[in-house]
């Protein structure tokens, strides 16, 4: 590293997002307590005394703000198991299918939209003709029928949506849900945040 002072240092935080039921939210207080002393040592070095530190929180800030909705188109029973076929799957939400670097596949947190029912064990699968298009395995959910909506949590993530086909991005603003539309040179999120004055 050069002996001259560094004007700015950007740190990727890799903060944990609780995607699965067994995951615990990150204890920010504990992280701060263990990090502050290291930053003090870093900036005590004359080369870094005037360095501006930037912590990139990335998906940690937004991932839990997004949800992925998919509708059950049909159900079936096969070899002692019950399946719900959904209109979206790994073509929309690749991580939930376990095909994005997950060594041991675990179900994402999800729930049934609007309504209860007797709990059952069921596999949720997508519309693709492959056995790996599986959104949830042996998930305990209220009784699933065709037409039901399933909601996957923590879906506002750079990896969650890989295909634009049949997908609509929307945002809640006050009490109104608005469809995101991109302006030239901007992403849909940038365009709508600017329009709403955020």
Is residue 1 situated within a structural domain? no
Tens digits of residue pLDDT in 110-141: 888 887 788 999 999 999 999 999 999 999 99
3 falls within a domain: no
What is the tally of structural domains in the chain? 3
Q: How confident is the model at residue 185 (pLDDT cuts 50, 70, 90)?
A: low
Same domain assignment for residues 195 and 155: no
* Eight-state DSSP code of residue 121: E
Q: What percentage of the chain carries pLDDT values higher than 90?
A: 23
From residue 118, alpha-carbon distances to 115, 146, 162 in Å are 11, 16, 34
Place of tokens 């596999």: 123
Continuous segment of H or E residues that includes residue 32: helix 28-44
Clarify whether residues 97 and 126 are in a common domain.
Answer: yes
| Residue 6 confidence (pLDDT) | 54
Q: Which domain holds residue 179?
A: 168-198
**Same domain, yes or no: 196 and 184:** yes
């Amino acid at each position: 590293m050069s002996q001259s002072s560094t004007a700015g240092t950007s740190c990727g935080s890799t903060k944990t997002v609780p995607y699965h039921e067994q995951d615990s939210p990150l204890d920010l207080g504990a992280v701060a307590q263990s990090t502050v002393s290291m930053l003090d040592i870093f900036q005590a070095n004359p080369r870094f005394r005037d360095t501006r530190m930037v912590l990139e929180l990335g998906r940690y800030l937004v991932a839990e703000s997004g949800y992925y909705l998919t509708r059950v188109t049909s159900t079936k029973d096969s070899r002692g198991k019950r399946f719900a076929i959904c209109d979206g799957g790994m073509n929309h939400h690749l991580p939930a299918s376990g095909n994005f670097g997950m060594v041991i596949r675990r179900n994402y947190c999800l729930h049934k939209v609007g309504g209860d029912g007797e709990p059952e064990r069921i596999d949720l699968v997508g519309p693709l003709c492959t056995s790996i298009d599986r959104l949830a395995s042996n998930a305990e959910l209220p009784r699933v029928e065709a037409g039901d909506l399933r909601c996957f949590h923590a879906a506002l993530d750079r990896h969650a949506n890989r295909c634009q086909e049949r997908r609509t991005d929307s945002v809640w603003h006050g009490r109104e849900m608005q469809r995101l539309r991109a302006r030239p040179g901007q992403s849909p999120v940038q365009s709508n945040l600017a329009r709403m004055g955020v």
